[in-house]
Structure 1
C-alpha cells in the first residue's frame, strides 16, 4: 500500500462535489486523481481516461479506494462538466504555491491562448480562451483565468493578477495588457512591469516612438545587442532603454513609470532579411540588459507552455465542450505539465517523460511524488 506524500491529493480533496448524494457511486478525489494520472500517461479525452483506468486499475488501487471500480467515460464527462472551475482552480493555485520557489526578480509572463476545437457553432458556443501566468524562474504555470465570451483579456488579467503573489517580480504582458489600471495593480501588489506598447494606446505609442526618433543624451540611454545564429538563420536584436519618461504626455498616469524601451530586430533566413521594431514601457530603471532579459523571458510562455500544450497534449484538438469540462481539463493539463517540469531526474523532453509515465508505474509515482510506505 502507498500513500500520497505530496500535497496534491490534500488540496484537491477539498474541491466541492457537484453531485447529489444518491448519485455518488465514485469518490470525487478518485475521479480527479484518475484523470490526472491518465493525462500524465498520454490520455487526451474522457474515453482515453476511462481506458487508462481499466488498464491501470491495480496500479491505481495502491493509492485510491475505488469502491465502485473505474468510472465510465460518461461519469468523467458529467462530473468535470459540473465541477466548479473556480474551486478547482483555487486548489491548483494552493498546490502551486507549495512547490513554487519565491525568487526576487522572477519574470511572470502573462499571455492568452484559445483552445480552438472547443467551440460549437450549432449552439453559439465560443472557444475556451484562457489567460495564464508563467514563472520563468520556476518553469511553472502559476494560474489561469477564463476570458468571458462577451469580454476580453483586459478584464481577465486583473482577476488573474489578484490570485498571484507577484511581489518583487517583473510582470510582462503584451499590448493588450498595456493599461493604466493593470500597471497600477501590478505596482500595488509589489511588482514591476514591462508592458508592450502598440496602437491600442495611440498617444503613448507616438510619444515613445518620438523619444527614440530624436537624439538622446548618453546619460539617459542604455543599450545592448544580442545575436543568435543557428538552424540556417541569423538574428540580431538591439535593445535601447531610455529614462526620459517626462517626454510622454500625461506620463504621471502610469504608476512608477521609469523607462521606455525600443527593440529593433533583424532576422536573415534563406537569404531573406526582415526587420521589426517593438516598444515597451516599464517601471524598471534605466538598464537595457535587465529589461532585455525580461522581454526574452516573456516568450517562455509561448515556447514552454502554449506550444507544449498544443503539440504534446493536443490541447487544440480537444472536443470537451459541455459545461465546465473544457476549462477543468485545461487545468489538469497545466497541472500535469507542472509536475513533469518539476521532475528533473530524467533529462529529456516533456513528451518523453509523458511516455515514460505511461509504461513505467514507478516513474509515474515519482512524477506525482507518491512514495511507498515501509
Structure 2
C-alpha cells in the first residue's frame, strides 16, 4: 500500500493481489493558522515525487555502480536533459538522499542501504510501486470520495496478461515477505503441523522461509493459475521442489488445500467484512480438528470502546472502518472494491464467529499483528 517515508491481491475473487498494506508515518503537526505550515503540507507531494522520480530514473543504482558522478556523467548515463539535472540532484542532496563534494554526487547512507536495486531492502520495491500506481491513484482521491469506487490504476485483472507487471508485483510481494518470513517461522509452534498451505502465497517466497526453518514440514501454495509458472521457477531455484507444490484456484469458488495449517497473510483486508467472513468460514471447513489458522495483517488498534465514524446504513458491510489509520483506510478505498482495514477486536470476533479458538495475538515485525487460532 502507500509507502510513507513510504503496502496484495486480485480484484477478481482470488488470492493475494491487492495493494500491499500501507506503511505510514505520523502526520507532522500543522498549525492551521500558519500559512507557511499549510503550504508545506499541501506541497509535500513535490519532494515525494522527486524521490520517486529518482528511483524510476535509476539515480541511486547508477551512483552505487560508479561510487560518485558529476552532473555531466549522470546526464549521459541516465539520459537526462542537462537543463534541470543539476537542480534535481541538488534537491536530492537537500532531502538527505545524496551527498555532494567537489562537484560530485554520491548516495547518502539511507539511499545506499535502501534505494539501490538488489540490496535486499523492501523499500525500493515499495517506492517503485508507489510511483507506478499509488501516486496516480491518490491524484484521483476526490473522484473516489464522490463515487466510492476504486481507481483505474487498481485494475488487477490485466495482470495475468502482462508478464512484466506480474513479475514486478511478485518482486514486491517477495520484498515484503523477506522481512516477515523468518519472523513467522519462529513465532508459530509448527511442531504438530506436517503440511502447511499459504493461501494467496504468490510464488512461494513466504512459505519457503517456514519450510527452510522446519525441515519436517511440506507445503502448498494456493493462488490464481497465472502464478504457477513463477512458482515453478522460484522453488526450483530454492531447491524446494520436493517439499512445495502449487494448487491453482479461486478461494471463493474452489476447495482450499488439505493442510494442518492455513496461512492468510495480508489477504482478509482486501475484502469486505462479509466476504472476509466467508473466507474464514471456508478455512474452518477445510481444516481438520486441531488445525491452525495463521493470520497476519496490519490490524488497526482501535477497539469497540473507542469512538467510531458512522457507517452509511445502506452499505454498512461494505464501508471501510477508518477508526485507526485514515491513510491506510483511504488507500483501501482507492485500491479495492469493499476492502477495508480492520481492528484486532474485529479480527478476534471474525475468527470466533467461525468457530475458531484463539491461541495467540502478538506483534509480528514493525507493523503487522499475528493471530493464531485453532479449530477445536
| TM-score of the aligned structures, taking structure 1 as reference length | 0.27
Where relative contact order (Cα < 8 A, 6+ residues apart) is larger, the structure is 1
| TM-score of the aligned structures, taking structure 2 as reference length | 0.27
